[in-house]
Amino acid sequence: MIRSRHFVRAAALAAVVLFSAACTAAEVPADPTAVTDAAWPTPAGVGGPDTSAGVNTDTSCDPLASIRPTAGTSVPPGSHLAEIKARGKLIAGVDQTTYLFGFRNPQSGNLEGFDIDVVNQIARALFGTAEGHVQFRAIPSSQREQVLKDHKVDVVVRTYSITCSRRKEVQFSSVYYVAGQKILVPKTSNAQSLADLAGKRVCAARKSTSLTKVATDPAKPIAVSVPNWSDCLVMLQQNQVEAVSTDDTILAGMAAQDPQVKVVGDQLTKENYGVGVPLDEQDVVQFVNAVLDQMRADGSWAASYDKWVGRRLGPASPPEAQYR
């Protein structure tokens, strides 16, 4: 009886195996429907041309002449600087997406770059050390004026080009870096200028002078605006734009991250970076200018440049300060 039950069980298992094999042999999987309309998703906030930044054609001021600094980096009682010092933290609007100038180190989680060094130098002069005395606020380029006007930050150090139109809304330090707008394209591209990109999509950040230059160029490239420069690199990698156009400093960082792209052409514009300060805080401008003068003189500007930029853009000297 036991032998009979084993025999029945074995026979049943054999039948299942034969049935499965028969089904496998008979059933041929169908080919999936071909996908013909797949596309990469675009970054959030992608838009068209925005010329609100204005190209450097406003000649109503001397944009590079800042307020002459006071002797040394003392803090006058009752000043805005005194309020910042009493608070114990310098609040700085910066970028966290632009490699070499303001980016978050993926290993340490810290913000690093040339602009971050400038912020730390200001904090060091104010508090004796930057450690524990800086509150970084990552902001898109389109918000630089607004956060200063709303007094949400004390300074903006974010590849911030000085123009007369911007000077009507905020104050600027003396020039601490001189860049130039160029073009980034895939290494397979033959484009060397905006003239070669007529009718082609060219990406730049919203409310930047670079976007205005693209949108108003006689060759009529198609300006594509994004909140952050890193979005432009993503769109270029996904073939959603044919080029990126902005300052050579920012493009150098993109090229360092992606070996399949290259920076091409002559400089389209000259971009003078300054530290942005609220319009009513002259004492802060004077203090920042004193710090920048010190950086030019003691070699800290050169050390930061060599660390972040020199290997990619060649040797340079700190720009000479101009004061009104």
CB-CB contact of 293 with 69 (8 Å) = yes
CB-CB contact of 219 with 200 (8 Å) = no
What is the domain-level CATH number for residue 114? 3.40.190.10
Using a 10 angstrom Cβ sphere, with 0-12 exposed, 13-18 middle and 19 or more buried, the burial of residue 12 is exposed
Tell me what pLDDT residue 31 has: 56
Tell me what pLDDT residue 27 has: 58
Is residue 186 situated within a structural domain?
A: yes
Rounded Cα gap, residues 128 and 142, in angstroms: 32
CB atoms within 10 A of CB 245: 30
Q: Judge whether residue 83 has pLDDT over 80.
A: yes
CB-CB contact of 81 with 126 (8 Å) = yes
Is residue 10 situated within a structural domain?
A: no
Is residue 5 situated within a structural domain?
A: no
User: What are φ and ψ of residue 91, in 5° steps?
Assistant: -95, 120
Rounded Cα gap, residues 80 and 86, in angstroms: 10
Look up tokens 């993109």; give the residue: 254
Is residue 29 situated within a structural domain?
A: no
Is residue 165 situated within a structural domain?
A: yes
**Could you tell me which residues are beta bridge partners of residue 171?**
277
Q: How many residues does the chain have?
A: 324
Q: What are the pLDDT digits (tens) for 66-76? A: 999 987 778 88
Look up tokens 């003392």; give the residue: 74
Q: What are the pLDDT digits (tens) for 144-153? A: 999 999 999 9
Residue 71 CA to chain centroid, in angstroms? 34
Is residue 109 situated within a structural domain?
A: yes
The boundaries of the domain holding residue 267 are: 80-313
Look up tokens 């399949």; give the residue: 260
Percentage of the residues of the chain whose pLDDT score is greater than 90: 74
Q: Determine the 3-state secondary structure of 4 from DSSP.
A: helix
Is residue 35 situated within a structural domain?
A: no
CB-CB contact of 213 with 193 (8 Å) = no
CA 207, 211, 217, 221 dihedral sign is negative
Tell me what pLDDT residue 21 has: 46
Give residue 39's pLDDT band: very low, low, confident or very high (50, 70, 90): low
**Could you tell me which residues are beta bridge partners of residue 183?**
245, 264
Both tokens of residue 212?
């205005």
Beta pairing class for 201-205 and 111-112: unpaired
CB-CB contact of 173 with 64 (8 Å) = no
**How many structural domains are present in the chain?**
1
Is residue 164 situated within a structural domain?
A: yes
Tell me what pLDDT residue 79 has: 93
